[in-house]
Chain A
Amino acid sequence: MPRLRRPSANSKEKLRKLADEELMERVAGNDADAFEVVLERHADAAFSLAYRICGRRSLAEDIAQEAFLSVWRSGARYDRARGSVRTWTLGIVHNRAVDALRRSGVHERRRASDEGIEETIEAPERTDTQALDNAASDEIRGALGELPAEQRRVIELAYFGGFTHLEIASMLDTPVGTVKGRMRLGLNKLRGQLQGWEAVGA
């Protein structure tokens, strides 16, 4: 049986040079060091998403922890054909955060008061170390900002607020068909802009 020990700085450096997908192959083989690199790369994004959704630091930490342990335990189920490791991980975070929100009183309160989501979130701790991620963030935020307010609102209430289309229709006192239409229009508009960036970037 191999002796377990802390990875040497050397092996850590080697792991850091691997792509996420290669690391996940090792994670599937029970390699905790490879997992640590995956965690390093995506912990902030995962926590940010959980925090954005549930608005409470302790709950967001619980969600991020659960999600990463799920990534660790189900690493073998990761399929690179279906998207990046980051997308897969954040999808798990999103599902768990929305589940937690729906179980918690927070959701009921927000629904009752229709106060949206932004207002209840504490000021996030911003750091300069996140500058690298900022280009992509600025783009999607910019694109969301350019959407008509009613389209942006239904998208955010659904994705970050965890509300279903029926709940949103009721909250906004808007027909269900209109809510669905706004979601579709908004996402299509975002898609157009994302493709525009790709074309410009290429």
Chain B
Amino acid sequence: MSQRRSDRDCAQLADAAVYVLGALEREELTHYREHLSSCAQCRAEVAELQPVVDELPASAPPAVASAALRERILTTVRAEAELLSAAGHEADRPARSRARWRPRGDLALGVGAAVAAGLAALVAVLIVVGSSGHAKVTVTEGEGLGRARRAHVSLRQRDGRAELVVAHMPQPALGRIYEVWLSHGPQDARPTNALFSVTGDGSGAVGVPDSLDGVREVMVTSEPAGGSSHPTTSPLIRVALPS
């Protein structure tokens, strides 16, 4: 066993086990990582113990991921793959000609592709609704997304549920959050309790909790954390639904 202590042992050596188990206090973590960068002995200890912790998941009682869970994940992934593929291939072309739609019989989903031209920072949103093969398509160009050079937005609907998926969105400013609104007509913006942020790479997804029946537009604004009952900024994203 390697439990001998000597005067040359680093005083923080015992923290390696705590660290690899994820059990350091949040405040300790930064300091510990700094320490690791300067202490070869502790780095070696972490390198020895990490593989042990990597085996621990196998001790969990085996359970089965449901087919519904797999399908939910794949549905999002396939939609995003299509979105990014569309954006990636057409990013250099003018915004108006970029939004395109190819019918897909296998997914009862609407997929939108929005690509903002570098300087104009426009968001073009393309929506496909329905699964009948007679999907209606509208394209809108929304407000600018500030510094966002390429923001992709899709609103996907299935079984009466809708989900807004974004990629390459800027993170909301400190203390703010994105809020989803439903508009039934001019001057109408009803709050939903759908608040979301985005990851470091600008991706995010949020379920739209309310029915889209009769909704003309889905909008996203930046609001103070906690959300607002009336929009306090102009929409960053506007998705016009086919009437």
Contact = CB atoms under 8 A, between A and B. Distances in A.
B62 A133 contact: yes
A189 B49 CA distance: 10
Interface in B1-32: 1-3, 14-18, 20-25
B51 A165 contact: no
Nearest to A186: B17
B59 A140 contact: yes
A35 B85 contact: no
B18 A158 contact: yes
Interface in A166-199: 166, 168, 177, 180-181, 183-192, 194
The dominant DSSP class at the B interface is: helix
The dominant DSSP class at the A interface is: helix
Interface stretch (B66-74, B120-128, B177-185, B212-220): B66-74
A43 B88 CA distance: 29
Interface residues of B, number: 57
A74 interface: yes
Interface in B54-90: 54-66, 69-70, 72-74, 76-78, 80-82, 84-86, 88-90
A93 B58 CA distance: 13
A163 B2 CA distance: 26
Interface residues of A, number: 79
A31 interface: yes
Interface of A: 1-6, 30-32, 35-36, 39-40, 43-49, 51-52, 60-61, 64-65, 68-70, 72-74, 83, 87, 90-91, 93-95, 98, 121, 124-127, 129-130, 133-134, 136-137, 139-141, 144, 155, 158-160, 162-166, 168, 177, 180-181, 183-192, 194
4 closest residue pairs by CB, A with B:
A52-B60, A158-B23, A47-B65, A32-B81
27 contacts: A1-B90, A6-B106, A31-B81, A32-B81, A52-B57, A65-B69, A65-B72, A69-B73, A69-B76, A69-B77, A69-B205, A124-B62, A124-B63, A126-B62, A130-B64, A134-B62, A141-B59, A155-B56, A159-B21, A166-B25, A180-B15, A183-B18, A184-B3, A187-B49, A188-B1, A190-B55, A191-B52
Given A65-B69, A83-B54, 15 more contacts: A5-B106, A32-B77, A35-B77, A36-B74, A47-B64, A61-B65, A95-B22, A126-B61, A134-B62, A139-B58, A141-B58, A155-B56, A184-B3, A184-B16, A192-B1
